Amino acid sequence: MNKETEMNRDDVIVIGGGPAGTTAAALLADQGWNVRVLEKCKMPRYHIGESLMPYCWFTLERLGVLPQIEAEGFTQKLSVNFVSPDGSQSRPFYFFQHSDHPSSYTWQVTRSRFDQILWDNAAAKGATLQDDTRVTGLVRNPDTNAVTGVTIDDGHGGHRNLHARMVVDCSGRDAIAAAKEGWRTRDPVLNKISIWTYWKGAKRDPGLDAGSTTVAYLPGKGWFWYIPLQDDVVSVGVVAERDYLFKPGETRDPAEIITREIGNNAWIQDHLAEGEQFGEYWVTGEYSYRSRYCADDGLLLVGDAFAFLDPVFSSGVFLALKSGEMAADAIDNALRANDVSAARFDDYGKQLCDHIEVMRRIVYAFYDEEFNFGKLIRAHPDIRGRLTDCLIGDVDNDFEELFQRIAEFADLPDELDYGHQGRRPRQPAPALA
Ligand SMILES: Cc1cc2nc3c(=O)[nH]c(=O)nc-3n(C[C@H](O)[C@H](O)[C@H](O)COP(=O)(O)OP(=O)(O)OC[C@H]3O[C@@H](n4cnc5c(N)ncnc54)[C@H](O)[C@@H]3O)c2cc1C
């Protein structure tokens, strides 16, 4: 690296200004590191992923943004509620019945506003933030293959390289590093499609349930989410197997598919009857994946850029915040030790995979034909607390007993054997005899 490049080098470049990126950036800038965030969209930008888990509170507290979030007027979420296709409801899982702590309620957020709060916070902590700036590739040292920066689109048809001691990939489901390196590996089972849109003026339940997330079942283990947002808006989405939503020989129009499925759940039908749909219909597929590696020399993968899990338990933003926080701590240590080799991030990868595995097992149970929460709680009423731990994001707990009980009703997956470690340097070719 020549002298000029070295002088223009940041300590850290973060790709992506979502919750993972701005969390890592704020915490690293707060430690005095020189951090640059590159975001392809103009902020604020639309994003799905509106229902938070209560344990987001701890990272939001560390970031110092709870006052701004309280002031924003987001809907308060006190529980999760499950509804059968005939409209009958299970007893809601109220978080405050489980723990008497400020983290025992959370929010349904408009992501453009939530993400902007985190973005402004990273700027206030001293990070340099560039929106409207797309990263098109990683820069590697030709001799060592270590990542030493990124290439950006300069907006005039050309490209420019930016250099840093450490690159943090927080590019969400674009997963720029995993996609380019061929590391993105789909979950062997979880592969759903989702279609979603918004309603205005739809029904809200009274009292404590006004801001609940409702998961409303469809035949064949598909489901609706019903997420009451601020300004009288409700986010409504359907998640199911591709063949269920896009039935051979039937309509492929997302609006018609959602309308058809509304007729398959009495609670959803009743709640939407008095509202009016507005805006786009969104569709996404290729649901759950994990990267083969969590790091390379000079590179760390965080949030959805590392792994994405089916959103049935609203774990995405929680895992993005949590991994952003874990990444900041690991990178701070690595920079201080002047060692950003991939192996330094094995503990980060192992801990993050352990958290993801807790949520992944419960997602598998959810989709198992033989399983439902009512059945589990009736058979083992004492397990309700542990189950709620899972649903609030208290993933550091010991869940062995919970999963033993769940295994009486559902096939649970083996742990995935990849993602826990950083990539090891390529072995030199063996010498010819
Ligand atoms: C259908 C659906 C429903 C969901 N529902 C929920 C929910 O209810 N609750 C929940 O917690 N989670 C939910 N999620 C998951 C949630 O959206 C994500 O887990 C969360 O946004 C991850 O945060 P992140 O910071 O890792 O990525 P993102 O929030 O996606 O941020 C990544 C950022 O990187 C930027 N970027 C991408 N590529 C580049 C590039 N090349 N250069 C520069 N910038 C780039 C993007 O523009 C984006 O701003 C849902 C997801 C889906 C698909």
Same domain, 158 and 264: no
Peptide bond preceding 44 in cis form (omega within 30 of 0): yes
Return the pLDDT at 338: 97
Start-end of H helices in 249-372:
254-262, 266-273, 316-336, 346-367
Residue 275 has pLDDT above 80, yes or no: yes
Q: Which of 33-47, 177-191, 213-227 has the highest mean pLDDT?
A: 33-47
Classify residue 37 by its DSSP letter.
E
Same domain, 166 and 22: yes
Are the C-beta atoms of 317 and 334 separated by less than 8 Å?
no
Which residue's CA is the closest to the ligand 1 atom numbered 35?
16
Same domain, 319 and 275: no
Angle among Cα 290, 295, 300 to the nearest 5 degrees reads 95
- What average pLDDT does the structure give for the chain? 94
Q: Residue 407: inside a domain, yes or no?
A: yes
Same domain, 212 and 357: no
Q: Residue 1: inside a domain, yes or no?
A: yes
- List beta partners, residue 108: 51, 75
Q: Residue 156: inside a domain, yes or no?
A: yes
Read off the tokens for 182. Answer: 């061929």
Tell me the pLDDT tens digit for each residue of 327-378: 999 999 999 999 999 999 999 999 999 999 999 999 999 999 888 888 899 9
Top mutation candidate among 300, 317, 322, 352 for ligand 1, by most atoms within 8 Å of CB: 317
Across 311-323, b (16+ Cβ under 10 Å) vs e yields bbbbbbbbbbbbb
Same domain, 277 and 301: no
Answer left, alpha or beta for residue 132, where phi above 0 means left and psi between -120 and 50 means alpha. Answer: left
Q: At what angle do helices 111-124 and 19-30 cross, to 10 degrees?
A: 20
Same domain, 176 and 242: no
Which residue's CA is the closest to the ligand 1 atom numbered 4?
49
Tell me the pLDDT tens digit for each residue of 117-131: 999 999 999 999 999
Q: Residue 299: inside a domain, yes or no?
A: yes
The span from the CA of 122 to the CA of 170, in Å, is: 14
Read off the tokens for 205. Answer: 């339940």
Predicted confidence band of residue 12 (pLDDT cuts 50, 70, 90):
very high
Residue 427 has pLDDT above 90, yes or no: no
Read off the tokens for 68. Answer: 């701004």
Last residue of a domain, one of 243, 269, 284: 284
Same domain, 177 and 209: no
Token pair 């952003």: residue: 324
Same domain, 178 and 197: no
Please state, for a pLDDT cut of 70, what percent of the chain lies above it.
97
Average pLDDT over residues 216-233: 94
Q: Residue 95: inside a domain, yes or no?
A: no
| CB-count exposure of residue 146 (10 Å: 0-12, 13-18, 19+) | middle
Q: Is 389 in the pocket of ligand 1 (CB under 6 A)?
A: no
Q: Is 291 in the pocket of ligand 1 (CB under 6 A)?
A: no
DSSP state letters, 181-229: HT-EEE-SS---EEEEEEEES----SGGGGG-EEEEE-GGG-EEEEEE-
The span from the CA of 226 to the CA of 220, in Å, is: 19
Tell me the pLDDT tens digit for each residue of 282-335: 999 877 999 999 999 999 999 999 999 999 999 999 999 999 999 999 999 999
Q: Residue 245: inside a domain, yes or no?
A: yes
Last residue of a domain, one of 249, 284, 319: 284
Q: Is 284 in the pocket of ligand 1 (CB under 6 A)?
A: yes
The alpha-carbon radius of gyration of the chain (Å, integer) is: 22
Return the pLDDT at 433: 55
Tell me the pLDDT tens digit for each residue of 129-170: 999 999 999 999 999 999 999 999 988 889 999 999 999 999
Angle among Cα 374, 380, 381 to the nearest 5 degrees reads 75
Q: Residue 177: inside a domain, yes or no?
A: yes
Same domain, 36 and 146: yes
Which residue's CA is the closest to the ligand 1 atom numbered 38?
171
Same domain, 153 and 216: no
Q: Is 311 in the pocket of ligand 1 (CB under 6 A)?
A: yes
Looking up residue 253, the CATH number of its domain turns out to be 3.30.9.100
Which residue's CA is the closest to the ligand 1 atom numbered 17?
49
Backbone angles phi, psi at 366, to 5 degrees: -55, -40
Same domain, 304 and 280: no
Query: For the chain, how many structural domains are there in total?
Result: 2
Q: Is 393 in the pocket of ligand 1 (CB under 6 A)?
A: no
CA 18 – ligand 1 centroid, Å: 6
Domain that holds residue 302: 1-74+109-187+289-425
Return the pLDDT at 362: 94
Return the pLDDT at 263: 96
For 309, other C-beta atoms within 10 Å of its C-beta total 22
The span from the CA of 410 to the CA of 385, in Å, is: 19
Please say whether the dihedral angle defined by the alpha carbons of residues 273, 275, 278 and 282, taken in this order, is positive or negative: negative
Q: Tell me the three state secondary structure of residue 77.
A: strand
In the chain, the amino acid numbered 247 is: K
Same domain, 217 and 275: yes
The span from the CA of 173 to the CA of 52, in Å, is: 18
Q: Is 49 in the pocket of ligand 1 (CB under 6 A)?
A: yes
Average pLDDT over residues 366-394: 90
Last residue of a domain, one of 254, 284, 314: 284
The span from the CA of 89 to the CA of 82, in Å, is: 6
The span from the CA of 11 to the CA of 26, in Å, is: 13
Looking up residue 309, the CATH number of its domain turns out to be 3.50.50.60
Angle among Cα 326, 330, 332 to the nearest 5 degrees reads 115
Q: From residue 219, how far is each of 34, 182, 199, 216, 239 by CA, in Å?
A: 52, 36, 23, 10, 12
Q: Is 235 in the pocket of ligand 1 (CB under 6 A)?
A: no
Q: Is 194 in the pocket of ligand 1 (CB under 6 A)?
A: yes
Q: Residue 88: inside a domain, yes or no?
A: no
